[in-house]
Amino acid sequence: MTKQTDLGGSFTPAGTSLSLKRMGYGAMQLAGPGVWGPPRDMDAAVAVLREAVGAGVNHIDTSDYYGPHVTNQIIKRALHPYPKGLVIVTKVGGRRGEDTSWLRAISRQELTDAVHDNLRNLGLDVLDIVNYRVMGSGHGPEEGSVSEQVTVLADLQRKGLIRHIGLSNVTAAQVAEAQAITGIVCVQNNYNLAHRHDDALIDELARQGIAYVPFFPLGGFTPLQSSTLSAVAAQLGAAPMQVALAWLLHRSPNILLIPGTSTLAHLRENLAASQLTLPAQALAQLNAIASAVVRSQ
In tens, the pLDDT along 198-220 reads 999 999 999 999 999 999 887 76
Q: Please report whether residue 285 resides in a domain.
A: no
- Residue 66 a catalytic site member: yes
32-68 residue pLDDT tens: 999 999 999 999 999 999 999 999 999 999 999 999 9
283-292 residue pLDDT tens: 999 999 876 5
Cβ atoms 44, 89 nearer than 8 A: no
Distance of CA 227 to the CA centre of its chain: 26
Q: Please report whether residue 281 resides in a domain.
A: no
CATH number at residue 63: 3.20.20.100
Which of 4-18, 75-89, 185-199, 247-261 is least confident? 4-18
Average pLDDT, the chain: 94
Catalytic: which of 66, 132, 191, 212?
Answer: 66
Pick the closest to residue 296 from 231, 246, 227, 245 (CA basis). 227
Q: Please report whether residue 235 resides in a domain.
A: no
Q: Please report whether residue 127 resides in a domain.
A: yes
Three-class SS state of 153: helix
Q: Please report whether residue 293 resides in a domain.
A: no
The count of domains in the chain is 1
Q: What is the chain's alpha carbon radius of gyration, rounded to the nearest angstrom?
A: 18
Residue 43's domain comprises: 10-225+241-276
Cβ atoms 261, 241 nearer than 8 A: no
123-144 residue pLDDT tens: 999 999 999 999 987 778 999 9
Q: What percent of the chain has pLDDT over 70?
A: 94
Q: Using omega within 30 degrees of 0 as the cis cutoff, is the peptide bond preceding 68 cis?
A: yes
Pick the closest to residue 141 from 105, 166, 103, 168 (CA basis). 168
Q: Please report whether residue 288 resides in a domain.
A: no
Cβ atoms 104, 94 nearer than 8 A: yes
Q: Please report whether residue 71 resides in a domain.
A: yes
DSSP-derived secondary structure for 38-79: --S-HHHHHHHHHHHHHTT--EEE--TTTBTTHHHHHHHHHH
The answer for 62, left when phi > 0, alpha when psi is -120 to 50, beta otherwise, is: beta
